[in-house]
Amino acid sequence: MIKKLSRKLKRARKARINYTEGVGEIGYLPVVEKQAFAEGENVRNRRCLRSGTKVATGDRLRRRRRRVKRQFYIRPTLIVAKELLGKYLVRKIGSKKLVGKIVETEAYIGPEDRASHAFGGKITERCKTEYLIGGRIYIYLCYGIYWQLNITTEKAGKPECVLIRALEPLNGKARLKKVASGPGKLCRWLKLDKSFDEEDLTKSKRIWLEDRGIKIKESDIVATKRIGIDYAGSWAKKPWRFYLKDNLFISRP
């Protein structure tokens, strides 16, 4: 097993990607650390075992992977949109898990926001989900082709949400292909459709968000105008699109 992992580590370094094995990321790691990884440990950001640095145990890893709770979502939308950056979206399909770090979001604050489906207090069959309590999935079809994954925010009755625009996949092959660098692409990769509308991220067994202890500095967040909403007039210029600076997996306008 050690030899097999060694080969994988070498390929990962050569391809300049992070290699994952379900329990965590592996970046450019000293070979001496592969034994810890073989035992199922997450050794990301761990330097050299020879230096005496502690390696996270399985129990510590599980404690770090905390499902995001309701209280996180029922706060002001702009705060949630920023703090979603660095959280991990987990999609379980059978025994397989697809995991990606959120690297780009957009905030929509109805009913005053002209870019929101709930502008003016409008309630339709499509946008009624926006009025649910924070932490629910609001998903809709764009141009009749692309599903768009949104997460509701604030308390029930306030139609606000955050669009998830891009993920940084943990799986090496998915990273190379950038399968989640755009709202439509990530829904295709995660196999999301209308059946996920109103899904509760705090309770669902097939999709949820995890806090893995990553702290994002304000200086590492870029705020700019949202994409594809020219019809919203001056509201289109609101700097309510947020993404991680210098991240290679954000969407392209």
CB crowding 78-110: b at 16 or more within 10 Å, else e: bebbbbbbbbbbbbeeeeeebbbbbbbbbbbbb
- Pick the range with the lowest mean pLDDT from 52-56, 65-69, 70-74: 52-56
- With contact defined as beta carbons under 8 Å apart, do 43 and 24 qualify? yes
> Tens digit of pLDDT for each residue in 98-126?
999 999 999 999 999 999 999 999 999 99
- With contact defined as beta carbons under 8 Å apart, do 40 and 23 qualify? yes
Q: Helix, strand or coil for residue 214?
A: coil
- % of the chain exceeding 70 in pLDDT: 75
- 3-class secondary structure per residue, 83-94: HCCCCEEEEEEC
Q: How confident is the model at residue 44 (pLDDT cuts 50, 70, 90)?
A: very low
Q: What is the mean pLDDT of residues 3-7?
A: 57
Q: What is the mean pLDDT of residues 39-54?
A: 40
Alpha carbons 15 and 106: distance in angstroms, whole number: 31
- Is residue 152 situated within a structural domain? yes
Residues 86 and 123 in one domain: yes
Residue 6, pLDDT > 50, answer yes
Location of structure tokens 């995991």: 99
Alpha carbons 53 and 47: distance in angstroms, whole number: 7
- Is residue 205 situated within a structural domain? yes
Q: What per-residue confidence (pLDDT) applies to 58? A: 52
- Pick the range with the lowest mean pLDDT from 29-43, 95-109, 117-131, 192-206: 29-43
Q: What per-residue confidence (pLDDT) applies to 49? A: 39
Q: How confident is the model at residue 1 (pLDDT cuts 50, 70, 90)?
A: low
Residues 56 and 75 in one domain: no
- With contact defined as beta carbons under 8 Å apart, do 163 and 93 qualify? no
Alpha carbons 82 and 241: distance in angstroms, whole number: 9
Q: What per-residue confidence (pLDDT) applies to 135? A: 98
Identity at 160, one-letter amino acid code? E
Residue 227, pLDDT > 50, answer yes
Residues 76 and 180 in one domain: yes
Q: What is the mean pLDDT of residues 52-61?
A: 48
- Is residue 250 situated within a structural domain? no
Single pTM value for the model: 0.77
- With contact defined as beta carbons under 8 Å apart, do 228 and 69 qualify? no
> Tens digit of pLDDT for each residue in 143-190?
889 999 999 999 999 999 999 999 999 988 999 999 999 999 999 999
Is omega for the bond preceding 253 within 30 degrees of 0, making it cis?
Answer: no
Residues 199 and 93 in one domain: yes
Residue 135 belongs to what domain range?
67-244
Q: How confident is the model at residue 64 (pLDDT cuts 50, 70, 90)?
A: confident
Residue where a domain stops, chosen among 13, 47, 64: 64
Q: What is the mean pLDDT of residues 79-108?
A: 98
Across-strand partners of 163? 106, 150
Residue 36, pLDDT > 70, answer no
Residue 29, pLDDT > 90, answer no
DSSP character for 217?
A: P
Count up the domains in the chain and report the number. 2
Residue 97, pLDDT > 80, answer yes
CB crowding 21-32: b at 16 or more within 10 Å, else e: bebbbbeebeee
Alpha carbons 135 and 151: distance in angstroms, whole number: 6
Q: What per-residue confidence (pLDDT) applies to 144? A: 82
Q: What is the mean pLDDT of residues 127-136?
A: 97
Rounded mean pLDDT of the chain?
A: 83
Residues 85 and 22 in one domain: no
Residues 13 and 36 in one domain: yes
Alpha carbons 190 and 114: distance in angstroms, whole number: 29
Residue where a domain stops, chosen among 64, 82, 106: 64
Q: What per-residue confidence (pLDDT) applies to 143? A: 83
Query: What is the total residue count of the chain?
Result: 253
- Is residue 253 situated within a structural domain? no
Alpha carbons 192 and 207: distance in angstroms, whole number: 10
- % of the chain exceeding 90 in pLDDT: 71
Phi, psi of 93 (to 5 degrees): -125, 100
